[in-house]
């Protein structure tokens, strides 16, 4: 079937070589996106926009918390921070352009832009494969060899493993993309996909693609199959170790966490293997698009939920930052918004009076301690001034009166010897 897309997807120029003067070289491609879906483009783009915003917000939150918190400095969080960065880059490379294509029901991309998107996708996909492998190895050491874990997984090894993951991603992808760059595209320029993927791009080439196919298989196999097998073996060993845990609650918690990790890993590696290592010609184009969505859109969204939101340490740090910063922002906002004059009390006067009373009543420590605690409590309440001014002013007067009455009554009773 031939897709007719008008003038916007037929831009080309004649090859200047005399032997190929009848061929035209494609300078841009036309991405169809989800052209079979009619009438719900706005709804579909809205759904993907929400997913993308949640992906970026979730992964950026994890990256910020791990980078700024001193309690999240273990190797597991070091690798998780890089995984969050990879997920942000992977989603940003695909989703914004995909949203434009969905809304416009197709869109053009230059040859250089298409190759750039293909290269960046390969870099982030390979890096994520290797980071997931390193993280499974880290969990295997932490559970199976807890005593030797700190000495084996030291900061230097963590840095080396992470740098190697990024370096392998950049270098291996360069080989395949460099070979694609040398191909000629002189026929149709319509890509039935939502981004510049390798397989549909090779289908448009009028050159011999056998060398690129073999090279891609040689590169994709050790990057996907071997790490996936290693991860499965690591989790098998982890499950066997967890079975020896005496606490049933601990076993259930460990199984729940490990099974969630394993599901994400299986979905990510399974779709990559089905697309690039062992592609099936019987798969329809729509099925391939759905598989592509799993590792380009939904995996970056699920990683912060599976690896982080179920982690108690990260949730504690998140709640601390949220409560602290939210309270500070509310106080600043209300201080600007409320123009009414608040009744402020100088606590130094109370503390000074208490100090003078302490000299006069050295044996009345209990009474003075109550008075001091009451004044301190009033000071804390005054600092948490997140109420409207008219409410807080009345609350201040009431607290001041209560503190003064309680302190005066206690001092009077002790003077009277009651």
Using alpha carbons, select from 300, 128, 140, 311 the residue that is nearest to residue 232: 140
Q: Give the domain-ending residue among 294, 322, 350.
A: 322
352 shares its domain with 289 = no
CA–CA distance, 25 with 28 (Å, rounded to integer) = 9
182 token code pair: 């040398």
Q: Are residues 50 and 179 in the same domain?
A: yes
Structure tokens at 238: 């982890």
Domain that holds residue 176: 6-322
- The pLDDT value recorded for residue 326 is 57
User: Scanning the structure block, which residue is given the tokens 């290693």?
Assistant: 230
Residues 270 and 387 in one domain: no
- Predicted local confidence at residue 320, as pLDDT: 76
Question: 103 and 228 share a domain?
Answer: yes
**pLDDT of res. 172:** 93
Does residue 108 sit in the same domain as residue 65?
yes
pLDDT of residue 324: 63
Q: Are residues 240 and 271 in the same domain?
A: yes
- Whether 329 is covered by a domain: the verdict is no
Instruction: Specify the pLDDT at position 332.
Output: 53
332 found inside a domain: no
Q: What is the pLDDT of residue 92?
A: 94
Quote the CA–CA distance of 152 and 150 in Å, as a whole number. Answer: 6
Domain presence at residue 331:
no
Among 376, 371, 381, residue whose Cα is nearest residue 410: 371
> For residue 387, is it left (φ>0), alpha (ψ between -120 and 50) or beta?
beta
Count of residues for the chain?
A: 418
- Looking at the fold, whether 157 and 206 belong to one and the same domain comes out as yes
Do 298 and 356 share a domain, yes or no? no
Confidence (pLDDT) at 334: 55
Q: Which of 269, 291, 322 is the last residue of a domain?
A: 322
Q: Look up tokens 């690798």; give the residue.
A: 79
State pLDDT tens for residues 25-62. 778 889 988 887 777 888 888 999 999 999 999 999 88
Q: Let me know if residue 391 belongs to a domain.
A: yes
Which residue, 322, 350, 378, sits at the end of a domain?
A: 322
Q: How far apart are CA 323 and CA 329, in angstroms?
A: 10
In the chain, how many domains are there? 2
Measured in whole angstroms, how far is the alpha carbon of residue 269 from the centre of its chain?
A: 19
Q: How far is 301 from 357, CA to CA, in rounded Å?
A: 62
28-62: string of b/e by CB count within 10 Å (b at 16+)? bbbbbbbbeeeeebeebbeebeebbeebbebbebb
Q: Give the chain's residues under pLDDT 50.
A: 1-4, 6-21, 337, 339-415, 418
14 three-class SS: strand
328 part of a folded domain:
no
Neighbours of 2 (CB within 10 A): 5
| Domain assignment of residue 241, yes or no | yes
* Contact in structure between 37 and 111 (CB atoms under 8 Å): no
**Closest C-alpha among 177, 186, 191 to residue 207:** 186
Residue 405 lies in a domain: yes
Which pLDDT belongs to residue 307?
75
Task: Tell me: do 285 and 395 sit in the same domain.
Answer: no
- Residues 22 and 150 reside in one and the same domain: yes
CB 139 within 8 A of CB 80: no
Answer whether residue 275 is part of any domain.
yes
Same-domain check for residues 316 and 350? no
For the domain that residue 74 is a member of, what is the CATH number?
Answer: 1.20.1070.10
**Residues 379, 261 share a domain:** no
Residue 114 near residue 196, CB atoms below 8 Å: yes
DSSP 306: I
């Amino acid at each position: 079937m031939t897709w007719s897309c008008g003038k916007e997807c037929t831009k080309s120029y004649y090859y200047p070589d005399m032997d190929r003067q009848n061929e035209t070289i494609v300078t841009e491609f036309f991405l169809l996106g989800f052209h079979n879906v009619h009438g719900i483009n706005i709804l579909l783009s809205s759904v993907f926009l929400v997913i993308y915003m949640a992906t970026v917000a979730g992964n950026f939150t994890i990256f910020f918390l791990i980078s700024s918190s001193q309690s999240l400095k273990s190797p597991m969080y070091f690798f998780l921070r890089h995984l969050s960065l990879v997920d942000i880059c992977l989603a940003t490379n695909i989703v914004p352009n995909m949203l434009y294509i969905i809304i416009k029901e197709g869109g053009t991309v230059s040859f250089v832009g298409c190759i750039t998107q293909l290269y960046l996708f390969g870099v982030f996909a390979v890096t994520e494969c290797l980071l997931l492998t390193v993280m499974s190895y880290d969990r295997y050491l932490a559970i199976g060899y807890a005593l030797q874990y700190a000495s084996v997984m030291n900061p230097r090894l963590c840095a080396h493993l992470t740098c190697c993951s990024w370096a392998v991603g950049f270098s291996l992808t360069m080989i395949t993309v460099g070979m694609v760059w040398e191909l000629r595209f002189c026929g149709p320029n319509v890509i039935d996909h939502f981004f510049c993927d390798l397989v549909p791009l090779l289908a448009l080439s009028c050159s011999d693609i056998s060398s690129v196919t073999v090279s891609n298989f040689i590169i994709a196999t050790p990057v996907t199959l071997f790490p996936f097998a290693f991860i499965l073996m690591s989790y098998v060993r982890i499950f066997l170790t967890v079975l020896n845990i005496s606490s049933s609650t601990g076993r259930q918690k460990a199984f729940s966490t490990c099974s969630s990790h394993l599901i994400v890993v299986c979905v990510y590696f399974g779709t990559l293997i089905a697309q690039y290592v062992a592609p099936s010609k019987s798969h329809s184009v729509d099925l391939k698009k759905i598989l592509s969505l799993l590792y380009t859109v939904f995996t970056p969204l699920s990683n912060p939920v599976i690896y982080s939101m179920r982690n108690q340490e990260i949730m504690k740090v998140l709640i601390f930052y949220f409560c602290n910063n939210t309270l500070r922002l509310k106080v600043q906002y209300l201080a600007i918004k409320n123009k009414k004059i608040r009744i402020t009390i100088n606590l130094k006067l109370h503390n000074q009076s208490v100090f003078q009373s302490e000299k006069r009543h050295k044996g009345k420590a209990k009474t003075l301690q109550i008075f001091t605690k009451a004044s301190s409590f009033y000071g804390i309440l005054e600092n948490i001034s997140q109420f409207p001014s008219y409410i807080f002013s009345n609350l201040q007067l009431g607290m001041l009166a209560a503190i003064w009455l309680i302190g005066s009554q206690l001092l009077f009773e002790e003077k009277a010897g009651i």
